[in-house]
Amino acid sequence: MPTKIKTKNQKPRKKVFTISGNDLDALTTILDKRDTWGGYRPNVSLVPKYDKSKKVTEITVTLKPVMDIPKWKELSKSTKNRQAEWNRMVIALEKYLRKLYALSLEALVKVVKDLEGKDGLDKAAFVKEQKKAKDAIEKAASDYDNKQLGGYKQGVELADIPPDPPEVKQAISKPKLVIYSVGGKTIEQVFKALNKRKFWGRYRSNQSKSATYQLDGHIKTITVTAKPVITMPKWKNYSKGNKGQKGTWDNMWKKLKAHEDNHHKIFLKCVKTFEADLKASNVTKKELPTHWRDETKSWQDDQDAYDSPGQSDHGINEGVELDFSHDP
């Protein structure tokens, strides 16, 4: 009596394993340490039935395939571009593993056809046929897997996706005007009083920063906050001055204010440059304190250069002066 061959095929069961990493390069390193990034096992079994003479009358060939699929633990915390690349790889991997499953099914058909011609197998003969059948089905998938480099040739890889450029926000207030008083009955006295101070007018940006970070430590958002203050003089005896004295005071004050406003414009320009540079430099959380210190130092260097004798000379070259000729 011919040996009856039955088959039982299950759809591949997905078995997920979790890996952890801050970026795709780290994940690639982890996955490369495995034999394959994913995995496919046909899990073939052949179960015989014997008659009273201990000859095989029926063989049930079963496939219980398993596909190993990686899961990225931090996927939801990563950037959209890196999420998309990971998801693309997983889709390519699953497609590739289904191809291995299809090859197993093709091999199974050949195995069944071969077994159908094996009548009257005893236990020892069955064991040999069992091993032969398992090897054939497993080899169909493994040979193809080796040729495809574990799916690498079919897109099972991860591109090196750079971090997202940081989003730079500004919370810069309009400069607050702070007034201090200076005495003197004459312009000359006012001049001497002003010169006893470190400054006639002064600009302070009072900047600070706060940041959030991407999964890999690169800056996600950074907010530059500033509460600028411009300090300007008030002549206590202004109401008692003559027309000429008031005129020279008003002219000086207007040009001094314009000078301090220019300092604010320099600050705004520096922040704009900082934004462009930061987006191009991929600064990390560890690097940000030094980067910020160096940047703000360069901002102050720009302010100092503007105040140098070769430029405004603290406003003198822009007409910040007082004319004594109107004093009585």
Task: Please write the tens of the pLDDT for every residue from 25-52.
Answer: 999 999 999 989 999 999 999 999 999 9
How much is the pLDDT for 96?
98
Residue 66 host element (H or E): strand 66-72
Task: Please write the tens of the pLDDT for every residue from 240-299.
Answer: 999 999 999 999 999 999 999 999 999 999 999 999 999 888 899 999 999 999 999 999
Residue of 297, 268, 255 whose CA lies nearest to 205: 268
Judged against a pLDDT cut of 90, whether residue 4 lies above it is answered with yes
Rounded to whole angstroms, how far apart are CA atoms 286 and 294? Answer: 14
* Interstrand relation of 39-41 and 66-72 (parallel, antiparallel or unpaired): antiparallel
Task: Please write the tens of the pLDDT for every residue from 97-130.
Answer: 999 999 999 999 999 999 998 888 999 999 999 9
Cβ count within 10 A of residue 172: 16
Rounded to whole angstroms, how far apart are CA atoms 124 and 29? Answer: 46
How much is the pLDDT for 39?
95
C-alpha distances (whole Å) from 67 to each of 14, 42, 168 are: 5, 9, 44
Judged against a pLDDT cut of 80, whether residue 213 lies above it is answered with yes
Q: Are 227 and 173 in contact (CB under 8 A)?
A: yes
Q: Are 187 and 125 in contact (CB under 8 A)?
A: no
How much is the pLDDT for 77?
96
Mean local confidence (pLDDT), 209-238: 97
Which pTM does this prediction carry? Answer: 0.80
Task: Please write the tens of the pLDDT for every residue from 6-22.
Answer: 999 999 999 999 999 99
Q: In a 3-state reduction of DSSP, which class is residue 143? A: helix
How much is the pLDDT for 118?
87
Residue 169 host element (H or E): strand 167-172
Rounded to whole angstroms, how far apart are CA atoms 309 and 317? Answer: 8
C-alpha distances (whole Å) from 30 to each of 19, 94, 113, 163 are: 8, 19, 42, 19
Both tokens assigned to 126: 């069955």
Q: In a 3-state reduction of DSSP, which class is residue 154? A: helix
How much is the pLDDT for 322?
97
Q: In a 3-state reduction of DSSP, which class is residue 279? A: helix
